[in-house]
């Protein structure tokens, strides 16, 4: 499939800086790191979350609890699929009751993924608060959801797509604005 790249909106250095800033804001907003945990949404959100955790550790000399959430089972487009997507393990190795959980994802778009992630997280307990951190907010919300931390807001048209490419999954660090591939059925 041919993907037409329209612009590189964040490059490698920019990505590092953005993540550092997100880490800083999280610490600042929560007055430290005492009562927070970071949970990333599979797949790319988890890697971004991991980097945020690492950045916080570098500056604060404290490793905040870190978990990974797979939201496949909470999606609302379930019955529209012919075959079920692979489910991966959710790994939250700590109690989430009475702490501030920062949910990390790569792109905030319609809000449906975040809604699913919130539902999934709630099934693990009752956190004091849940805050949402995203690398990119591209608009077009379909649900009343907003992010508490935004790496970069990128206005897009519906025919465009934001691709976050990470070392861990794609071999490079950058964010691209591409033309949405045509639906092939």
Partner 1 sequence: MPLQQKHLLGLEGVSAEDISLILDTATTFREILDRPIPKVPTLRGLTVVNLFYEASTRTRISFELAEKRLSADSVNFTTSTSSVKKGETLKDTIRNIEAMKIDMVVVRHQAAGVPRFLTQCVDAAIINAGDGMHEHPTQALLDMFTLREKFAKLQGLRVAIIGDISHSRVAGSNIRGLKAMGAEVMLCGPKTLIPRDVEKFGVQVTYDVEDAIAWADVLNVLRIQLERQEAGLFPTLREYHAEFGITQQRLERAKKDITIMHPGPINRGVELDADVADAEYSVILNQVTNGVAVRMAVLYLLSGNEESVS
> Which one among 82, 158, 159, 182 touches partner 1, defined by CB under 8 A?
82
Number of residues that bind partner 1 (CB under 8 A): 25
Q: What angle is formed at CA 88 by the lines to CA 112 and CA 96, rounded to 5 degrees?
A: 70
Residues 6 or more apart from 150 whose CB is under 8 A from it? 108, 133, 134, 136, 137
Q: Are 131 and 102 in contact (CB under 8 A)?
A: yes
CB atoms within 10 A of CB 38: 25
Site for partner 1 in 41-70 (CB under 8 A): 70
By CB under 8 A, is residue 73 in contact with partner 1? yes
Verify binding: residue 153, partner 1, rule CB under 8 A: no
Please select the residue that binds partner 1; options are 74, 103, 114, 156, rule is CB under 8 A. Answer: 74
Q: φ, ψ for residue 39 (rounded to 5)?
A: -130, 120
Residue whose CB is less far from partner 1, 61 or 80 = 80
Among 4, 31, 61, 81, indicate the residue that binds partner 1 (CB under 8 A).
Answer: 81
Q: Which residues bind partner 1 (CB under 8 A)?
A: 70, 72-74, 78-91, 119-120, 122-125, 185
């Amino acid at each position: 499939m041919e993907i037409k790249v329209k612009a590189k909106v964040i490059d490698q250095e920019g990505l590092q800086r953005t993540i550092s800033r997100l880490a800083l804001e999280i610490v600042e907003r929560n007055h430290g790191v005492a009562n927070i945990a970071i949970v990333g949404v599979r797949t790319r959100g988890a890697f971004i979350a991991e980097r945020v955790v690492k950045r916080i550790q570098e500056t604060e000399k404290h490793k905040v609890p870190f978990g990974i959430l797979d939201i496949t089972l909470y999606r609302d487009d379930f019955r529209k699929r012919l075959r079920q997507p692979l489910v991966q393990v959710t790994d939250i190795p700590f109690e989430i009751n009475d702490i501030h959980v920062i949910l990390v994802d790569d792109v905030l778009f319609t809000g449906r993924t975040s809604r699913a992630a919130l539902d999934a997280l709630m099934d693990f307990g009752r956190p004091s608060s849940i805050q949402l951190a995203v690398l990119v907010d591209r608009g077009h919300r379909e649900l009343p959801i907003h992010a508490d931390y935004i790496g970069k807001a990128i206005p897009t048209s519906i025919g465009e797509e934001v691709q976050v490419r990470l070392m861990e999954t794609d071999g490079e660090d950058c964010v691209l604005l591409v033309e949405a591939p045509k639906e092939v059925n």
